[in-house]
Structure 1
Amino acid sequence: MASVLAVGLIGCSAGTDSASSGSKGASDFPKKQIELIVPFSAGGGTDAVARAFADAAKKHLPKPIGVVNKTGGGGAIGLAEGANAKPDGYKASLVTVELAILPNLGLASFQSDDLKPVAQLNADPSAVTVAADSPWKTLDEFLKYAKENPEKVRIGNAGSGSIWHLSAAALGEETGVKFSHIPFEGAAPAVTSLLGGHLEAVTVSPAEVSSQVAAGKLRMLGVMSDERLEAFKDVPTLKENDIDLSIGTWRGIAVPKDTPQDVVDVLKEASRKTVEEQSFKDVLDKLNLGIEYKDDTGFADTITKDSKRFKELIDKLNLKQ
């Protein structure tokens, strides 16, 4: 938030009676802890972004943010709870790209505009990752095996309708390969299943497999981005393999659509300053999560654009339920 507003809020938390100032609304917001709903399980990239944000935001809000994981339905349960919350700013959501996907799949009780954007925090591509002791050293080898063994390759995702499910489905469409799609309640359990030998691959973000790749337990075969990632310079893009596919997630803060704009503005300014905190940057850098900040207007444009894009992709893949 702007420096003057930040000072005012901190002063309020130190004991200034908001009523004595004669103003209402954002002038005394927040007066209690804010709950941040994470629609996926603890341990994954979405959870990591939420917790890093909540920790760094302590400097810019007079009350803390409590992170609560609400899993299920490929993110639908947590996103629905956030959309249906009281529009007072005290229950916010760490929204993911599934906000623009699930309604188009017919798997959600909400629409993408049932949540009002506050700020985008992050963006990451999907990546094809296999066990380090698997026979596939390259993406071409993996896809060749999958093509010769229809439906024998199990790819784990973060739930039916999740971006990691959609990215694998899009890969199959682009290459003419059939996969068995195995849903989990988040990326972390999918990766655990891959490590246990119960899957052939996952298509989660590089961040969600980075530690296991570094430890030599997993091997990343390709990233679904326009260019190679700085942290994984040796991993080719799918486009280098003549597969025209670039797809991934974004994460950000949102609140119920009827939340007053002055409350949104407080959260927006706090978000802007939080993203600039070195502690937030350090956590995301350590986990190889990409930082990409947009304010409420820019984030709204991203959601609208991606909702249209994913509707077209879902219709093309005939995935609507």
Structure 2
Amino acid sequence: MTTRRTLLAAGGLALPAIAARAQDRPVQLYVGFAPGGNIDLAARMAAPFLERHLGGGTQIITVNKPGAGGMLMLNEVAAAPADGRHVALVPFPALVTALYDNTPRYRTDSFAYAGLLTDEPYTVFVGNGTPFRSLRDLVEAARAQPEAINMAGAGVGSAPHLALIAIERASGARFTWVPTQGAGQALQLVHGGHVAGSISTVSLTVRGHIQGAHRVVAIMERERWDKAPDLPTGIEQGVDVAAGSARGFALPAATPAAIVARWEEAIRRTAADPEFRAMAERDFLIVRHMDRATMTRFVEEQARAYGEVWRSSPWRR
């Protein structure tokens, strides 16, 4: 699969205060969505490896703060003490889209970006009780009966919602979006037959497809994925859309540089850790590492790109 998008280990890098009194003050790793979704699962998978590579007995607990497509969590972390113990697993493009369709209490410079860890394409998947066997089937039904087909996912303006809007614009279909507190809740709605389908990352959906829990009708990438070569792209089915979600780590902007550097190194080591990569491979999680400078540029590029989209075609009215 093609990607839609290192610092050398600093020998002798002094361990800053992040590890001090780790037994009494664990690091809180914030996730802006409910448990059980793709971002939550990625955070919980990465946490033990980050603990290992931060060193000094650091403990990490995952804290779920769902609401407003991740914005509530980002507001909280932006205003948190800059002591290295409040870290967000930031989803993209949600961090930047909220700047245009909502009123967050943060800006892009409210954070110190420590590094990107994963980047995955989305899939479109449907419940086994639906008649849809392909994305073509799904969009044809949504053209024939505009807004009659419900698709669930994180809040209005979230990355999955924007991916569905892109499908609508490319195909002429009209769906109804059912906002949830995250991908885990959307998955439950699909499995329960309450909605027709959803959009989420390959790490959350492909295993379920293979096991027969639901049906992936398209992967939103430019070419097929070698780990699941039977899954057709949307482009093959006449819907020229590629979309996905990247995730990285951010701390409050005033966090001391030594602490941010330590997080940057721990993220780099986690991305390169053979055990982590084996787990990621097993669970269809796609690792894509960026150092803090590259991630910061990535944030700026995302903000510019989605700002242009918002000005030409707002996704919330």
1:306 correspondence with 2:314:
no
Pick from 31, 44, 55: which aligns with 2:37? 44
* 1:231 alignment partner, SS class: coil
* 2:269 alignment partner, SS class: helix
* 1:250 alignment partner, SS class: strand
Larger CA Rg, structure 1 vs 2: 1
* 2:215 alignment partner, SS class: strand
Q: Does 108-117 or 119-128 show the bigger shift? A: 108-117
After TM superposition, give the deviation of residue 230 of structure 1 in Å: 2.3
**Structure 1 equivalent of residue 127 of structure 2:** 131
1:167 correspondence with 2:163:
yes
Contact 1:210/1:287 (<8 A) preserved? no
Contact 1:115/1:256 (<8 A) preserved? yes
1:265 correspondence with 2:261:
yes
**Structure 2 equivalent of residue 274 of structure 1:** 270
1:284 correspondence with 2:275:
no
**Structure 2 equivalent of residue 241 of structure 1:** 237
**Structure 2 equivalent of residue 54 of structure 1:** 47
How far apart, CA to CA, are the structure 1 residues paired with 2:46 and 2:312?
36
**Structure 2 equivalent of residue 20 of structure 1:** none
**Structure 1 equivalent of residue 6 of structure 2:** none
Pick from 207, 210, 216: which aligns with 2:203? 207
Pick from 218, 222, 233: which aligns with 2:214? 218
Listed as ranges, the matches of 1:78-157 within 5 Å are 78-97=73-92, 98-157=94-153
Unaligned runs of 5+ in 2: 1-8
Query: Match of 1:287, as an amino acid?
Result: D
Query: Match of 2:61, as an amino acid?
Result: G
How far apart, CA to CA, are the structure 2 residues paired with 1:60 and 1:102?
32
Contact 2:221/2:243 (<8 A) preserved? yes
Contact 1:170/1:317 (<8 A) preserved? no
How far apart, CA to CA, are the structure 2 residues paired with 1:255 and 1:84?
10
Q: Does 100-109 or 220-229 show the bigger shift? A: 100-109
Pick from 249, 254, 260: which aligns with 1:253? 249
Query: Match of 1:82, as an amino acid?
Result: V
Pick from 2, 19, 42: which aligns with 1:30? 19
Contact 1:119/1:296 (<8 A) preserved? yes
Query: Match of 1:70, as an amino acid?
Result: K
* 2:200 alignment partner, SS class: coil
How far apart, CA to CA, are the structure 1 residues paired with 2:31 and 2:276?
17
Q: 1:150 to 1:107 in 2, by over 3 A?
A: farther
Q: Which runs of 4+ in 1 moved over 6 A?
A: none
Q: 1:2 to 1:52 in 2, by over 3 A?
A: farther
Contact 2:112/2:250 (<8 A) preserved? yes
After TM superposition, give the deviation of residue 296 of structure 1 in Å: 0.3
* 2:298 alignment partner, SS class: helix
Contact 1:107/1:161 (<8 A) preserved? no
Superposed CA offset, 1:237-256 (max 9, x none) = 22222332211110011111
TM-score, normalization by structure 2? 0.90
How far apart, CA to CA, are the structure 2 residues paired with 1:313 and 1:241?
24
TM-score, normalization by structure 1? 0.89
* 2:19 alignment partner, SS class: coil
Q: Does 166-175 or 233-242 show the bigger shift? A: 233-242
After TM superposition, give the deviation of residue 320 of structure 1 in Å: 4.1
Listed as ranges, the matches of 1:3-14 within 5 Å are 3-5=11-13, 9=15
Superposed CA offset, 1:124-145 (max 9, x none) = 1121101133211111111111
How far apart, CA to CA, are the structure 2 residues paired with 1:109 and 1:239?
38
Q: 1:49 to 1:184 in 2, by over 3 A?
A: same
Could you say which structure has the higher helix fraction? 1
Q: 1:223 to 1:107 in 2, by over 3 A?
A: farther
Contact 2:165/2:315 (<8 A) preserved? no
Query: Match of 2:90, as an amino acid?
Result: V
Contact 1:42/1:69 (<8 A) preserved? yes
Aligned residues: 302
After TM superposition, give the deviation of residue 107 of structure 1 in Å: 4.5
* 1:259 alignment partner, SS class: coil
**Structure 2 equivalent of residue 296 of structure 1:** 292
* 1:203 alignment partner, SS class: strand
Superposed CA offset, 1:257-311 (max 9, x none) = 1212121111111111122222322332222111000000111111111122222
How far apart, CA to CA, are the structure 2 residues paired with 1:79 and 1:214?
34
Listed as ranges, the matches of 1:57-76 within 5 Å are 57-61=50-54, 62=56, 63-76=58-71
Superposed CA offset, 1:159-191 (max 9, x none) = 222101111111112212111000100001101
Superposed CA offset, 1:213-243 (max 9, x none) = 1221211111111222222211122222233
How far apart, CA to CA, are the structure 2 residues paired with 1:65 and 1:203?
29
